[in-house]
Amino acid sequence: MTTIAPLPPIRPGATHLTGVVTALVTPFRPDGGLDEDAFGRLVGRQVAAGVSGIAPVGTTGESPTLRPDERDRLIELCVAAATAAGGARHGMRPTVVAGTGTNDTRATIEATRRAARLGADVALVVAPYYNRPNQAMLERHYLAIAEAGDLPLIVYNVPTRTASNVAAETLLRLAEHPRIVAVKEASGDLDQIAVILRDRPAGFSVLAGDDIWTLPVIALGGDGVVSVASNELPEAMVALCAAASGGAWDAAREIHERLLPLLRANFAGAPNPAPVKAGLSMMGLIDDVLRQPLLPLDASARPGLAQALIDAGATLLPERQAVEA
């Protein structure tokens, strides 16, 4: 195993990720262009809620339909907005976790280097999709990026989207590398997650990759979640992680059960991020615009989503609960 030294974080502990990392949506204008003003407001809202990290240009940020220059611009904006908002919190801005993963190792290295130059703190690197590498190939992919990408890495394991699973044994070998600092575990495989949590090295963060798994993963010793629901209700997700991490299990279960309908509704009726963007639009925070092939959430799914948001504590704009053209 390599003996390369860890890269310095922006502040002590910045790459030991805990709590809520928000997988931030990318707001678009009605004409389909980036809505930079809305994006900045979303970042400020996350900082004010006390999230530990913000992850732009991931799956929830519609990275597959963003041009490379748009991805870089959003990372740059996220760093600037988080830094500005964090100044009001004594300089303690959330860690910026830039989505840089592709199914091309060389392209991922280049994207990770650009993210480093733009001020990101950590790279979120999805397992290669479509070309279906085996475990040896996955391991070499991540090690190459760790060696040459200029940022600490989070392995993003989401077999439902990539058609390949980063097995526990592979992940645990990768976790020994000083620049591979965490996993976003979205396999939905409790056995695999339990093995990783039992055998991971000290300082390696295990983050739930699905909101609904937040409480179970923390109960098993995990560190937090990369969250979709925190786009809508960041304070509630922060409170859930804090209660569970502090051993306040009754409080954690109460928050989990209150949020459960929303956590389910955010993945019902259309692929992520169509439901969460519909929800944010109902709250008056963004326009309900996605890039094709994704389309806005169908009308039949909107009443259930709206009710779940209300029950979870969100305030909606009644005029925005209908389908928006």
* Residues with active-site annotation: 156, 184
Do residues 185 and 21 make contact, with C-beta atoms less than 8 angstroms apart? no
Residue 271: partners with Cβ closer than 8 Å, 6 or more residues away: 294
| Integer-rounded Cα radius of gyration of the chain | 18
N- to C-terminal Cα separation, the chain: 54
- DSSP 8-class letter at 149: S
Cite the beta strand spans of 198-294 per DSSP E.
205-208, 224-227
Structure tokens at 140: 């070499």
CA geometry: angle 22, 248, 200, nearest 5 deg: 60
- The CA–CA distances, whole Å, from 27 to 48, 229, 291, 292 equal 19, 16, 10, 14
Give the count of beta carbons closer than 10 Å to the beta carbon of residue 201: 10
Three-class secondary structure of residue 58 per DSSP = coil
Structure tokens at 283: 């709250």
Cite the beta strand spans of the chain per DSSP E.
19-23, 53-55, 95-99, 122-126, 153-157, 180-185, 205-208, 224-227
Do residues 320 and 76 make contact, with C-beta atoms less than 8 angstroms apart? no
Side-chain-side CA neighbours of residue 323 (13 Å):
8
Give the count of beta carbons closer than 10 Å to the beta carbon of residue 230: 29
Torsion of CA 278, 279, 280, 283, to 10 degrees: 120
